[in-house]
């Protein structure tokens, strides 16, 4: 089995660590890798889109699971797919859309593996309607620390520990996923501008139930009476009769556009307050005050950045921190304070989105809960960033909220138990299942998971 010693980072390109990268091509090779990964343990890795250190393992092994990428069976009538954990959501869309099916949940990138989607229990623009990814997983096969393969069904402790468990219960090998039926590969999209944060929250609260998908881009540099001004984008899969006659001939075509890759070298400070402020002003002003029923392609609506390979390079060699938190409904004042703090701090973030979550799912370390979630990117070299984010963590924890582990790279461990009330159960099951600590990551060591 090929293995190389490489430097590994998350998508944010911060805090690289060195590990042995192992590339299993069969289930047997994956089991052999787990049995022989050494005293520093190992962790599964998909396409590397976790922003922080969840799929890094300093001095140990990292199992690149993308070689296990077979689609085994599709139930076209029942709407389920059985596939390897290394299959990407992009590949599923290529195969399933022509058959009239779509993935049940997709984040802001389709270059995520099914195993990673379960391990991080990813969410998308439809959480208020559809929940997170694991809600749609019927079962999966899990390779545990003893080298055995277990079929894990919904409603079991091992399922709930694995969904959102960041790969620390074992290596997911296959999964059976329930799909979303669609008539076309286009989206019917409504867009509107919100003048400030209160206007945005009022619009979302009053009308989100009308849409399957909903997200707001938010200008975190805007201050004063414009603080939190936003562009709200919502929609659903377009029905066949919404398409113009010519488009109805091939309603399920899926051909994502590709643009040139971001350059390898980007000058430091390119995304500073001035350039991001200009971008935010232009983005807000060019958005329509109100537009209904625009037809957009799936990549345009869900994954606009996927068209630019290696877009994370635009932050320069210092990389960036992606910070995402959720605060429960009833704690809107905490959200306002946090947005105000970010605005006053002048954090240059042009990828900032606000969404509403629906009911959470049973995963013990699953991130979503009913409430408001804000995600933003910040250049990692911003002066005083660590202390500033520590202050935001305190605000989030004080509002009974939590930080998303799949994007985290710097949370203090003492805050974790308050954010994730079932952490003790997770640690107990993990100790029983993996007493030697075979499955280990930089994230798990940092947070004592």
Q: Mean pLDDT, the chain, as a whole number?
A: 95
Strand partners, 149: 143
* Residue recorded with tokens 């109100």: 290
- Does residue 408 carry a pLDDT above 90? yes
Residue 269 scores a pLDDT above 70: no
Phi, psi of 137 (to 5 degrees): -95, 125
Model confidence at 11: pLDDT above 80: yes
Across residues 236-246, what is the average pLDDT?
A: 95
Select from 186, 282, 290 the least CA-distant residue to 233: 290
Q: Say if residues 142 and 158 touch (Cβ distance below 8 Å).
A: yes
- Asked if pLDDT for residue 449 goes beyond 70, the answer is yes
Indicate whether 315 pLDDT > 90: no
Question: pLDDT-based confidence at 21, cuts 50/70/90?
Answer: very high
Nearest-angstrom CA–CA distance, 385 and 396: 16
Predicted TM-score (pTM) of this structure: 0.96
Give the model confidence (pLDDT) of 373-400 as tens digits.
999 999 999 999 999 999 999 999 999 9
pLDDT band at 234 (very low <50, low <70, confident <90, very high): very high
Which of 1-10, 79-88, 196-205, 349-358 shows the lowest per-residue confidence on average (mean pLDDT)? Answer: 1-10
- Residues 40-83: pLDDT tens digits? 999 999 999 999 999 999 999 999 999 999 999 999 999 999 99
Which region holds residue 436: left if phi is over 0, alpha if psi is between -120 and 50, else beta? alpha
Model pLDDT, residue 82 = 98
Categorize the per-residue pLDDT at 275 as very low, low, confident or very high, splitting at 50, 70 and 90: confident
The predicted pLDDT at position 316 comes to 86
Q: Is residue 106 over pLDDT 90?
A: yes
- Give mean pLDDT, residues 188-198: 98
């Amino acid at each position: 089995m090929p293995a190389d010693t490489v430097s590994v980072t998350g998508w944010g390109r911060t805090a690289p660590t060195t590990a042995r990268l192992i590339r299993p091509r069969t289930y047997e090779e994956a089991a052999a890798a787990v049995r022989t990964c050494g005293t520093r343990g190992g962790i599964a890795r998909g396409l590397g889109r976790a922003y922080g250190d969840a799929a890094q393992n300093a001095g140990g092994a990292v199992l690149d699971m993308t070689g296990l990428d077979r689609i085994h069976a599709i139930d076209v009538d029942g709407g389920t797919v059985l596939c390897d954990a290394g299959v990407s959501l992009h590949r599923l869309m290529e195969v399933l859309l022509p058959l009239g099916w779509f993935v049940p949940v997709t984040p802001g990138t389709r270059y995520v593996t099914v195993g990673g989607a379960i391990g991080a229990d990813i969410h998308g623009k439809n959480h208020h309607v559809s929940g997170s990814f694991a809600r749609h997983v019927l079962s999966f096969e899990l390779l545990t620390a003893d080298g055995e393969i277990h079929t894990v069904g919904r409603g079991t402790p091992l399922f709930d520990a694995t969904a959102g468990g960041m790969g620390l219960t074992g290596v997911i090998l296959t999964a059976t996923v329930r799909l979303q039926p669609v008539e076309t590969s286009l989206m019917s999209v409504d867009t509107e501008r919100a003048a400030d944060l209160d206007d945005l929250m009022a619009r979302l609260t009053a009308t989100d139930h009308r849409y399957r998908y909903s997200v707001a881009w938010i200008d975190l540099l805007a201050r004063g009476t414009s603080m939190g001004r936003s562009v709200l984008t919502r929609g659903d899969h377009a029905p066949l009769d919404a398409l113009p006659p010519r488009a109805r001939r091939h309603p399920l075509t899926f051909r994502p556009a590709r643009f040139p890759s971001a350059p390898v070298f980007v000058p430091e400070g390119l995304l500073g307050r001035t350039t991001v402020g200009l971008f935010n002003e232009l983005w807000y002003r060019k958005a329509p005050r109100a537009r209904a029923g625009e037809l957009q392609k799936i990549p345009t609506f869900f994954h606009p950045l996927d068209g630019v390979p290696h877009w994370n390079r635009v932050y320069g060699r210092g990389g960036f921190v992606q910070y995402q938190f959720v605060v429960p409904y009833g704690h809107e004042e905490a959200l306002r304070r946090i947005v105000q703090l970010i605005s006053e701090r002048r954090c240059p973030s042009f990828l900032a989105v606000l969404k509403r979550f629906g009911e959470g799912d049973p995963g013990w370390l699953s991130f979503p809960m009913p409430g408001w979630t804000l995600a933003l990117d910040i250049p990692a070299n911003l002066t005083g960033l660590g202390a500033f984010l520590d202050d935001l963590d305190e605000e989030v924890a004080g509002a009974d909220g939590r930080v998303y582990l799949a994007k985290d790279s710097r949370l203090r461990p003492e805050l974790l138990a308050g954010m994730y009330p079932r952490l003790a159960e997770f640690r107990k099951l993990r100790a029983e299942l993996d007493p030697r600590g075979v499955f280990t990551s930089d994230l798990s060591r940092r947070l004592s998971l």
